Structure 1
Amino acid sequence: MAAPAADDGRFEAALRQCAREVERMLDLLLPRPEGPEAQLAEAMRYAALGGGKRFRPFLVCQSAAIFDVNIESALRAAAAAECVHIYSLIHDDLPCMDDDDLRHGAPTVHRKFDEATAVLTGDALLTLAFDILGDTDTHERARVRIELVRRLAAAAGARGMVGGQMIDLASEGKALDMNGVTRLHQLKTGALISFCCEAGAVLGRASPEGLQALHAYAHDLGLAYQIADDLLDVEGDAATLGKTAGKDVAAGKATFVSILGVDRARAQARMLADQAVQHLDLFDERADLLRLAPHFVITRRN
């Protein structure tokens, strides 16, 4: 099934609606600032409720919709994924990592508060994610909750985001080849995107074929997303991006753009986006918004 028309406004309207619903769920799940640890709760809420496209939660909700998953269950899993994503951004922004001052156009957590608070805020959001997934409100079946926890732990850990960040730090000033850059971003960016695309299938107790189709879709989507990020780092500006532009070049990092050049990188992103859509042929029109997501990813401006 081909991707539906991308210019009818449905996708961005659905993305905004999902962002509002995820924001509502996060507001309910995040602790309130009170007691001697109030600053931690304040920082968690500052980071988690500070805007953003909520693209990863959107993937959770749309994959769940294919299998008729209860929307509140989907939103809880989506909120858990977003907590992990936000934790990773807080830690990535630290001076010992990427040393960024801006996120979504606002001061990063370590600039708004301090470095110690930023570390603890990231830790608290990461652990909150597993608290959310382990609750019976997310799914009545323990086996489903355990599978969600297992998959998110794998996506976030040494063989996922954290491993990718280690490669990223170790590769500064080094000449990674295409395989090395691909491996880096499959872990740092792609692993969490894969979890988000597969979470709905886990919640919906989908067939192995359905789960594999979403895994393959996520693989291509994640690489297309990262190529688009690399292009934005070269071509964007801080006002549009809401974060510092040109950081990869300044740090001497190998990227898809530094290896392929702008034109070939853009062509590779388009190819991956088209390929991602083809993996959804197994599903009916309930996957139409997922079919539009790859086009959104490679044409976004921030």
Structure 2
Amino acid sequence: MTPAVSTAFDFTAYLEAARWRVETALDGSLGPERPESLREAMRYSLLAGGKRLRPILTLAACELAGGDADLAMPTAVAMEMIHTMSLIHDDLPAMDNDDLRRGRPTNHKVYGEAKAILAGDALLTRAFEMVALRSPGVPPDRLLQVVGELALASGAPGLVGGQVVDLECEARQVDLDTLEYIHLHKTGALLRACVISGALIAGASEELLASLRTYARGIGLAFQIIDDILDVTASSDVLGKTAGKDLTADKTTYPKLLGLEESRRRAEALVCEAKAVLAPWTTKAAPLLALADYITSRDR
């Protein structure tokens, strides 16, 4: 039996409030500074909306571990900055060559390829600044651990490595193990960093951290499976990005390997496993349990 989210927990209200807090913090993270043109390009993508799943996971994990979510907000902002950087760079002609992101033109279509690359670079480095220099009240040893998590998630052991393998596998058939490797690194690594970093800021026990790693692995894979499904079942208007890109690029996806129904079943099973490990913390874990369900029920 997997733990159920308490009926007393209003996930819709929680999500709305968390998103508002995150949006406010994101807006305040890039104040007036020079060069103005670079700041404008950074803000264009950072404030373009989206689910804000990564920063909310960070805050929820901090609360689960008994911490103050306000102390984790700079790290939550950092996670969204790294995610935004990855989107800007993924959309470039040298990568996925996409013209649409979050319902509007991609960064390089508006500001040019050179400035888009630099905007992504600036967001990546600002993310480390948010943790190391803009996190008052968090013990330095915990911040050092978070910096390590960010470095692993954003570099070769994480999303960069996953992106390279993804590019290398275009137009050729790959097996399920390779596909899982891509998704655990390109998508899952940052989701894991969000969950673990939020808990680290709160001083989580090793027992809780181990359970959260299992939780993050499950939701990370499930998230990408649902993305693969939506790429072939949803429209560009709904997704806010170009639908059918995986098919056009001849990429191997979960639906291509397993079919739509088996892919959905696998995503649901992963979410069930992710929720099960949080059973000892059922009450405090309500937001994380609901976020896991949200991953498989979303339509974009």
TM-score, normalised with respect to structure 1: 0.96
Do residues 31 (structure 1) and 13 (structure 2) align? no
Would you say the 8 A contact 2:6–2:286 is kept in 1?
no
Deviations 1:241-264 (A, max 9, x none): 000000001101011111000010
Quote the Cα distance in structure 2 between the aligned partners of 1:139 and 1:85: 25
Would you say the 8 A contact 2:91–2:98 is kept in 1?
yes
Deviation at 1:124, TM superposition (A): 0.3
User: Structure 1 residues 241 and 5, CA, compared in 2 at 3 Å: closer, same or farther?
Assistant: farther
| Number of the residue aligned with 2:221 | 223
User: Structure 1 residues 145 and 139, CA, compared in 2 at 3 Å: closer, same or farther?
Assistant: farther
Deviation at 1:286, TM superposition (A): 1.2
Do residues 2 (structure 1) and 9 (structure 2) align? no
**Secondary structure in 1 aligned to 2:216?**
helix
User: Structure 1 residues 115 and 136, CA, compared in 2 at 3 Å: closer, same or farther?
Assistant: closer
Deviation at 1:284, TM superposition (A): 3.7
Quote the Cα distance in structure 2 between the aligned partners of 1:104 and 1:149: 28
| Number of the residue aligned with 1:22 | 22
Q: How does 1:99-138 map to 2 (within 5 A)?
A: 99-135=97-133, 137-138=135-136
Deviation at 1:82, TM superposition (A): 0.4
Q: Which deviates further from its counterpart, 264-273 or 69-78?
A: 69-78
Q: Among the aligned pairs, what percent are the same residue?
A: 40
Gaps of 5+ in 1: none
Which residue identity is paired with 1:13?
Answer: A
| Number of the residue aligned with 2:41 | 43
Which of 236, 239, 252 aligns to 1:238? It is 236
Quote the Cα distance in structure 1 between the aligned partners of 2:216 and 2:12: 19
Deviation at 1:96, TM superposition (A): 0.5
Would you say the 8 A contact 1:210–1:282 is kept in 2?
no
Deviation at 1:268, TM superposition (A): 0.5
Do residues 88 (structure 1) and 86 (structure 2) align? yes
User: Structure 1 residues 284 and 274, CA, compared in 2 at 3 Å: closer, same or farther?
Assistant: closer
Would you say the 8 A contact 1:77–1:132 is kept in 2?
yes
Would you say the 8 A contact 2:60–2:69 is kept in 1?
no
Which of 152, 172, 175 aligns to 2:173? It is 175
Q: Which deviates further from its counterpart, 42-51 or 135-144?
A: 135-144
Quote the Cα distance in structure 2 between the aligned partners of 1:139 and 1:166: 37
**Runs ≥4 residues deviating over 4 A:** none
Deviation at 1:19, TM superposition (A): 1.4
Would you say the 8 A contact 1:74–1:138 is kept in 2?
no
Deviation at 1:9, TM superposition (A): 8.2
| Number of the residue aligned with 2:206 | 208
Would you say the 8 A contact 2:41–2:119 is kept in 1?
yes
Would you say the 8 A contact 1:277–1:291 is kept in 2?
yes
Deviation at 1:4, TM superposition (A): 1.6
Which residue identity is paired with 1:23?
Answer: E
Deviation at 1:138, TM superposition (A): 4.5
Q: Which deviates further from its counterpart, 66-75 or 203-212?
A: 66-75
Would you say the 8 A contact 2:88–2:107 is kept in 1?
yes
Quote the Cα distance in structure 1 between the aligned partners of 2:124 and 2:134: 19
Which of 143, 146, 150 aligns to 1:145? It is 143
Deviations 1:65-105 (A, max 9, x none): 11232232111110010000000000001111001111110
TM-score, normalised with respect to structure 2: 0.96
Q: Which deviates further from its counterpart, 279-288 or 40-49?
A: 279-288
Quote the Cα distance in structure 2 between the aligned partners of 1:120 and 1:75: 25
Do residues 165 (structure 1) and 163 (structure 2) align? yes
Gaps of 5+ in 2: none
**Secondary structure in 2 aligned to 1:285?**
coil
Deviation at 1:142, TM superposition (A): 1.3
Across the aligned residues of Structure 1 and Structure 2, the Cα RMSD in angstroms comes to 1.5
